[in-house]
Amino acid sequence: MFNSNKKLILIDYQNSYFYQQKRKKLRRKYYKIMIIIVFLALLSAVIVPLAQANTDNTERHSQINSTTNGLIHGPQLIFDHPDSSQRVALPVDLNAQVKVSGLVAYVNVTQVFINPYNMTLEGKYQFPLPENAAIKHLKVNVAGTEIIGEIMEKKAAKARYKKAKTQGKKASLVQQQRPNLFTNNIANIPAQSRVVVTLQFIMPVTFDKNQATLKLPLAMTARYHSDNAQPSPAEEDSAIIVPIANALAKSQASINIELNAGVEITNIDSNSHQIKVQQLNHDKSSYLITLAHEQTLANSDFTLSWQLQANEKPQVSSFTEKVADEYFTLLTFFPPQVEATTNTFARDIIFIIDTSGSMQGNSMTQAKASLQQAISQLGKNDSFNIIAFDNSVDLLFPMTNMASDYNIGQAQQFIKNLNADGGTEMYRPLSQALVMARAAQQTQQAIRQVVFITDGAVSNEFELMQLLSGAQQKFRLFTVGIGAAPNGYFMKKAAQFGRGSYVFIQNSADVQRQMSALMAKINHPAISNIELIFDSQVHQEVEVYPKRIADLYLGEPMQIAVKSKLPITSVQVMGNTTTEPWYQQVIIDDSSSAHGISTLWARRKIADLLDTLVTGADKQQVKAQVISTSLAHQTLSPYTSFIAVEKKIVPLPLMAKNSLLSAKSKLTNLAKAHENLMVAMPKTALGWHQQLLIGLLLIMLAPILLCFAARRKSYALKPKS
Amino acid sequence: MLRLIAIVLMLVGIIVCAQASWLPAKAWLSQHLINASWQQAMKGQQLKQAKQQSKSSKPIAIKPWPWADTFPIAALDFQRLDKNIVVLNGGDPTTLAFSAGAVVPFNQTDTNSPFVVAGHRDSHFAFLQDIILKDVISLTNAHGRTQLYQVERIDIVDASAAQLALPADEANLVLITCYPFEGISDNEDERYVITATPL
């Protein structure tokens, strides 16, 4: 009875409204705590790695900065000093002689560095070469020895390299890599001595919107006595060695530029330094430019720009260089500076778009966007067609059709339905495009232009190139590379064979801009079908590069290099403008000699020789020719290397110290200026962590909301008290 | 109403999670198929070599699945880490989703030019962060020949600023993945570049 009573009460109590509420509250409390804990855990899981990554990043960056000192835009010497792992020294004296011929600059830079420490050190000389520059000559003069850089055949260079390799290569730590950095190791720089480095290289002058710009990476330290706000480490160092610095302080940074633009120019200006300009001849094309007054080049590149005199007709300038009984002539074609006129060539454009599986995702979206963009810019005189291919070929029309509104609408529908799938068979679409019939309404003069949009992931490049080189030269091929890692080499070469150009679009944001730039460009060839006619009697042996002369486009000057046995006095240039045939006789006077033209010619010749490999030339023969050209003109090629070898000038007599020095110098030190290949780096993160976290967050949010819902309900249910 | 939103959120969350885990799952699953096709190719290569007694035969390319746009071209073995991975041909996103890929045109072994392999830092190349200088990597090419490489440099490169410059005439092995490894987004600017020279 007692028992049962108790039981009854207990059961009663357990199920009573009060207990239910109490339990519910408790449960809810636990629920909330649990959610908060899970939420916090999740948050920390998200934030901690992020924060870590950030600190890691900043640490590494500061490391990088401390080693390279952020002064990479000028020549520098990095000492192997035990104190701080590396000491950066900028030149205390710098002398640059520049000769500009049209759009080529030949630069000779002499730099003086000082080893300010009281011990013999090793150093690493660095020079940031401008893009597309080619080193011609290197000479390092340090403590009675000379290091001379020259171009040698690979085998010979390798042999020497091996001999020197006993010194052992050091593995570098994590550091930022920069392209086109020329480096050379210099061993045994005696205490408080000078290092004189002479470097000669050829660089192109950039040309944009009628303005030519020359940019020399020539930073140097401020004088030790100057009131520079930010003393560089090298400057502090130079204060230590006052005697040597004093001796050098009399000299100063100097830049002499002999500018020969070939055509009339105006507005010579430098926005980095004050300059003095002297006119050298009467036709406003030749000038001597020097720095205005005593000044240093502290921490900034030297830039020089000049404006071409506006002209309605295309202009051709010429320069000659004589190298060992052979004459090298450079013809530079400057397009006319007219606004895009209504006079345009009628065109017969075929777009080929790659829809293979490798284009999937972002690449395909980009390709479609760029194609839409191109289609929308067609004129009424143009005819067009679209070929889409994967392992099969899909045609919009059987032949090219006029760009009427109806046809364009159809094309846009066609593009919308494109899907990336299947393999890559490029041969068929390309061969079809080359022989496709043109629209009946199209005129005979219309230029056949093929615009090829692809990621270039092909394996049969050689077959394709053979197809292109064997085809009739009535077409122009423009390649548009898309995606993270297109096959740039193939596309560049294909465009070259097709006398067109290559555009690489990496960001989807750039598609619109770059594509419309390409379309605008190919819309207005200033002169097409250019031909050169030499006096056949005088010049039996004329070698012209490029062998296939491309069209001249607005805003894009073109250079043609010619080698001849005898000096050329005149060339007749012919071509077609939009309205009429164009003819010009170029009189060449060799009074103004130029530098670096033979190198330019040799570079072109080597490229051309290598291209013949594609069309089945004998490998050994080509190799021999390339090597001989490369050595004769000191230009880098795949079969030659640039190596720097230490040579003793005059062996000083006596002294035990000296014998030690010479023993060390046997360990020749050398560097190779590599021909660099560029790799586009693909996207290498799936990002599934992020997605997973977002998903988990969403899932976590749901119970919180439920909890709120429950609470609201309970409030609503609660009797008013 | 809130309850409905909560359910929707839950569902969306589950879908997103499933989608996210599909990526590594795909990467993991495809590994088996790729491995199988690689083993098959190696076997075929051995047989062929035994028969013909000549080494200069064309390598056998077997697609891991019939509709694949790529095929295995090499295998990397990291002895110290006890990891190995089969490298596919091509560096496009589709290929990289399945395994590490050799970037065109640096996908030729047995030449004087570098061999460049890219992979995802959160799937196939996650272990690259454990690689240290002087590590030895062995690469087996489609001919069945093995070449040893030693890690000489590890660089962190900004991929948004420029393309990577490689010396053209050195037969290096270059491994590329995203950096930092702890990052979670799929749009990183920095790349972790490991350069190994042949031994």
pLDDT tens-digit series, residues A540-581: 678 888 777 878 887 778 888 888 877 777 788 888 877 778
Model confidence at A603: pLDDT above 60: yes
Model confidence at A109: pLDDT above 60: yes
Q: What distance in Å separates residue A470's CA from the closest CA in chain B?
A: 24
Q: Which residue has the tokens 């000044």?
A: A295
For residue B2, name the pLDDT band (cuts at 50, 70, 90). Answer: confident
Neighbour-count burial for A628-654, b at 16+ CB within 10 Å, e otherwise: ebbbebbbbbbbbbbbbbbeeeeeeee
pLDDT digits (tens, 9 = 90+) for B24-45: 888 888 888 888 888 888 888 8
- Chain A: residue whose CA lies nearest to B18: A692
Give the model's pLDDT for residue A176.
Answer: 29
For residue A340, name the pLDDT band (cuts at 50, 70, 90). Answer: low
Model confidence at A235: pLDDT above 50: no
**What does the angle CA A402 – CA A408 – CA A409 come to, to the nearest 5 degrees?**
140
For residue A51, name the pLDDT band (cuts at 50, 70, 90). Answer: low
pLDDT digits (tens, 9 = 90+) for A663-698: 333 333 333 333 455 566 677 777 778 888 888 888
Nearest to A694 among B16, B113, B153 (CB): B16
Q: Give pTM, 2 decimals.
A: 0.57
Model confidence at A175: pLDDT above 60: no
* CA B178/CA B192 separation, integer angstroms: 6
Q: Lowest-confidence range among A265-274, A458-467, B157-166?
A: B157-166
Read off the tokens for A506. 């990496």
Q: Which of A191, A246, A207, A201 is nearest to A223 (CA)?
A: A246
Give the model's pLDDT for residue A675.
Answer: 43
**Helix axes of A362-376 and A405-416: crossing angle, nearest 10 degrees:** 180
3-state secondary structure of A509: helix
- How would DSSP label each residue in A390-416? SSSEEESSSS-EE--HHHHHHHHHHHH
Q: What does the pLDDT average to over B78-104?
A: 84
Which of B116, B123, B182 would best serve as a mutation to test chain A binding (most A beta carbons within 10 A)?
A: B182
Give the model's pLDDT for residue A651.
Answer: 39
For residue A531, name the pLDDT band (cuts at 50, 70, 90). Answer: confident
Model confidence at A21: pLDDT above 70: yes
Read off the tokens for A284. 């406003």
Nearest to A358 among B20, B90, B122 (CB): B90
**Kind and range of the H or E run holding A631:** helix A619-633
Q: Which residues of B touch A487 (CB under 8 A)?
A: 104-105
What integer best gives the mean pLDDT of chain A?
Answer: 72
User: Could you tell me how far CA A595 lies from the centroid of its own chain?
Assistant: 25
Residue A697 in contact with residue A42, Cβ under 8 Å? yes
Cβ partners under 8 Å of residue A246, min gap 6 = none
For residue A164, name the pLDDT band (cuts at 50, 70, 90). Answer: low
- φ, ψ for residue B191, nearest 5 deg: -125, 145
Q: Which residues of B touch A362 (CB under 8 A)?
A: 93
Which of B30, B94, B179 would best serve as a mutation to test chain A binding (most A beta carbons within 10 A)?
A: B94
Q: Which residues of A touch B9 (CB under 8 A)?
A: 698-699, 701-702, 705
Q: What does the pLDDT average to over A4-31?
A: 71
Residue A576 in contact with residue A528, Cβ under 8 Å? yes
Q: Which of A86, A91, A95, A152 is nearest to A121 (CA)?
A: A86
Give the model's pLDDT for residue A299.
Answer: 57
Model confidence at A169: pLDDT above 70: no
Bridge pairing between strands A525-534 and B101-102: unpaired
Model confidence at A229: pLDDT above 60: no
Q: What does the pLDDT average to over A375-380?
A: 83
**What does the angle CA A691 – CA A697 – CA A702 come to, to the nearest 5 degrees?**
130
Q: Which of A164, A110, A175, A113 is nearest to A139 (CA)?
A: A110
Q: What distance in Å separates residue B52's CA from the closest CA in chain A?
A: 25
3-state secondary structure of B125: coil
Give the model's pLDDT for residue A658.
Answer: 39
Give the model's pLDDT for residue A56.
Answer: 45
pLDDT digits (tens, 9 = 90+) for A258-293: 888 878 888 888 877 788 888 877 777 788 888 876
> Which is more confidently placed, A639 or B87?
B87
Nearest to A698 among B16, B96, B118 (CB): B16
Give the model's pLDDT for residue A669.
Answer: 33
User: A127 has which bridge partners?
Assistant: A182
Model confidence at A393: pLDDT above 80: yes
For residue A539, name the pLDDT band (cuts at 50, 70, 90). Answer: low
What integer best gives the mean pLDDT of chain B?
Answer: 82
pLDDT digits (tens, 9 = 90+) for B99-131: 888 887 777 777 777 888 888 888 888 888 888
Name the residue type at position A115.
N
Give the model's pLDDT for residue A227.
Answer: 33
Q: Lowest-confidence range among A100-104, A481-485, A597-601, B114-118?
A: A481-485
Q: What distance in Å separates residue A382's CA from the closest CA in chain B?
A: 35
Model confidence at A428: pLDDT above 60: yes
Rounded to whole angstroms, what are the CA distances from A299 to A69, A90, A424?
12, 9, 50
Q: Which residue has the tokens 């013809």?
A: A331
Q: Which residues of A touch B3 (CB under 8 A)?
A: 705-706, 709
Q: Which of A646, A634, A647, A638 is nearest to A135 (CA)?
A: A634
Cβ partners under 8 Å of residue B58, min gap 6 = none
Give the model's pLDDT for residue A178.
Answer: 43
The number of beta carbons lying within 10 Å of the beta carbon of residue A211 is 14
Give the model's pLDDT for residue A73.
Answer: 55
Q: Lowest-confidence range among A636-650, B5-19, B64-78?
A: A636-650
For residue A244, name the pLDDT band (cuts at 50, 70, 90). Answer: very low
This complex has an ipTM of 0.77
Model confidence at A403: pLDDT above 80: yes
For residue A238, name the pLDDT band (cuts at 50, 70, 90). Answer: very low
For residue A170, name the pLDDT band (cuts at 50, 70, 90). Answer: very low
* CA A245/CA A248 separation, integer angstroms: 5
Read off the tokens for A532. 């050169």
Domain boundaries, chain B: 2-198
Per the CATH hierarchy, to which homologous superfamily does domain B2-198 belong? Sortase (2.40.260.10)
Q: What distance in Å separates residue A687's CA from the closest CA in chain B?
A: 4
Residue A534 in contact with residue A568, Cβ under 8 Å? yes
**Sign, Cα dihedral of A678, A679, A683, A685:** negative
CB contact under 8 A, B69 and A423: yes
Q: Which of A386, A458, A455, A384 is nearest to A420 (CA)?
A: A455
Question: Looking at chain B from residue 28 to 57, which residues have their Cβ under 8 Å from any Cβ of chain A?
Answer: none
Bridge pairing between strands A570-576 and A581-587: antiparallel
Give the model's pLDDT for residue A671.
Answer: 34
Model confidence at A129: pLDDT above 80: no
